Amino acid sequence: MLTLDISQLRSFLPQDGLDAYEERLKQAATWISTHTGPGGDFTGWIHYPREYDKEEFARLQAASKKIQQQSQVLVVVGIGGSYLGARAVIELIQSPNYNLKQKDTPDVYFAGNGMSTDALLETIELIGDRDFSVNVISKSGTTTEPAVAFRIFKAMLEKKYGKEGAKDRIYVTTDKAKGALKGLADREGYQEFVVPDAIGGRFSVLTPVGILPIATAGVDVEALMAGAAQAMEELSTPGMDNPVWQYAAARQALYDQGKKIELLVGCEPCFRFFAEWWKQLYGESQGKEHKGLFPASVEFTADLHSMGQYIQEGERLMFETVVQFAPRGNITIPNDPENVDGLNFLSGKSLSFVAQQAMQGIILAHVSGGVPNIRIQMPQISAQSVGYLIYFFELACGLSGHLLQINPFNQPGVEAYKNNMYALLGKPGYEQLRAELEAKFH
């Protein structure tokens, strides 16, 4: 399903440079698959494509059908790992223009992923007087951004449909036992889905966190899980022939050589949000103890006209990981009898052929400019291939996090801003911190 090409690392790494990481990868793979080692409590995603709760999955599919029948809009309230995966998959498979398309599934709007008043007002305006449902997603159940947005949409639903009617349109995805959202859902009798204990937000796209919105948008979620299960089987073989071991080792080898940035290169506009998901996965997993590659993203060829100069000739800080999918259709470039633009040498050729040649040229130029290149080639975008790619990147993230010798599965740095915000907003229990922060400001 996935082909990894690391041939363009040759001029940057010593011969057999990746083999040096084999023993540490063996250790990392064992830690992850046996739920041991640093962060072992949060490796529930490793066998999830085989072990997920099938009864809950059926309930998710039934809920998505009900939303499709009952509503023209689904509002997905969540932030970080509680929304990026769903948005990434919907945009990649169904299009970033999904909401604009003629379809028999609801529009999906994402809210509660920031503090923008204007964005929230716009979402409310876009819903208009259409029927809508809400899926609020928060593992902790206490994150401020989604909690505030949920208050607003819950009040709107209750105003429009009454308390009982609103209850029939609210779906809560949260911890199985704790958190304010869990308490509210139990009290109000909302339909609930569980974020598994052993899976952190950024690894949760294949759990109910992602599945309910993704299924509501009409994606074949069984095929998505089947793709992930295929990856789980194929990528579990130990050894340096395994592409996920190669990718994890290559990232670390380049980091050890002084590279500071990994640029994820997409070739499709619909890949942009997948890159956002990937950035969270790697940034939040590996940016620790003053270590880690900075995950950035670009889209080729569009961004060659904005970032291409820097990539070719700026600081030699980065390497590229290009992800290419086979096209889902075909466009042939027409002949122009007058050949005004001088492009008749392309007449009759397919646009995808031109794109392939362009990518080849870009890679060679960047490599000769000092930017190592890793290339991932995928078949057409489909639920199956996307499920496979998600699992590939999750596993590579865990493995390469262990090579970096950090705990890839916690996120202590995210708490710092949350605590400051609670203190400054006057949350009870944060008085001492508030006094300390105020002293710093004055």
Active site residues: 284, 305, 418
CB of 413 to ligand PA5, least distance (A): 11
270 interacts with ligand PA5 by CB under 6 A:
no
CB of 395 to ligand PA5, least distance (A): 17
Using the rule CB under 6 A, which residue among 2, 73, 79, 381 binds ligand PA5?
79
210 interacts with ligand PA5 by CB under 6 A:
no
How far is it, in rounded angstroms, from Cα 240 to Cα 260? 24
Using the rule CB under 6 A, which residue among 262, 284, 320, 394 binds ligand PA5?
284
DSSP at 333? P
CB of 64 to ligand PA5, least distance (A): 20
Using the rule CB under 6 A, which residue among 39, 44, 49, 81 binds ligand PA5?
81
80 interacts with ligand PA5 by CB under 6 A:
yes
| C-alpha angle 110-141-62 in degrees, rounded to nearest 5 | 60
Strand arrangement of the beta sheet that strand 170-174 belongs to:
107-111, 73-77, 132-138, 170-174, 191-194
Cβ atoms < 10 Å from Cβ of 159: 9
Q: How many positions of this chain bind ligand PA5 (CB under 6 A)? A: 15
Using the rule CB under 6 A, which residue among 82, 133, 230, 407 binds ligand PA5?
82
How far is it, in rounded angstroms, from Cα 38 to Cα 166? 43
What residues have CB less than 8 Å from 257, skipping those under 6 apart? 12, 13
Q: Which helix (H) or strand (E) holds 122?
A: helix 117-127
- Joined together, the tokens standing for residue 13 give 């790494």
154 interacts with ligand PA5 by CB under 6 A:
no
71 interacts with ligand PA5 by CB under 6 A:
no
Please, which residue, 146 or 266, has the CB nearer to ligand PA5?
Answer: 146
Residue 114 · residue 296 · CB < 8 Å: no
199 interacts with ligand PA5 by CB under 6 A:
no
- Tokens 């947005």 identify what position? 149
Name which of residues 85 to 144 contact ligand PA5 (CB under 6 A). 138-140, 143
323 interacts with ligand PA5 by CB under 6 A:
no
Using the rule CB under 6 A, which residue among 39, 85, 146, 387 binds ligand PA5?
146
CB of 276 to ligand PA5, least distance (A): 12
200 interacts with ligand PA5 by CB under 6 A:
yes
271 CB burial (10 A radius; 0-12, 13-18, 19+): buried
Name which of residues 384 to 413 contact ligand PA5 (CB under 6 A). 411
- Joined together, the tokens standing for residue 353 give 């052929």
DSSP at 335? P
Residue 244 · residue 403 · CB < 8 Å: no
Choices 44-52, 73-81, 228-236, 338-346 (CB under 6 A): range interacting with ligand PA5:
73-81
Residue 249 · residue 24 · CB < 8 Å: no
Q: Which helix (H) or strand (E) holds 345?
A: none
Q: Binding mask 211-240 vs ligand PA5 (x if CB under 6 A, - otherwise)?
A: ------------------------------
173 interacts with ligand PA5 by CB under 6 A:
no
Using alpha carbons, select from 231, 221, 321, 419 the residue that is nearest to residue 8.
Answer: 321
44 interacts with ligand PA5 by CB under 6 A:
no
By the criterion CB under 6 A, which residues form the site for ligand PA5? Answer: 79-82, 138-140, 143, 146, 200-202, 284, 411, 414
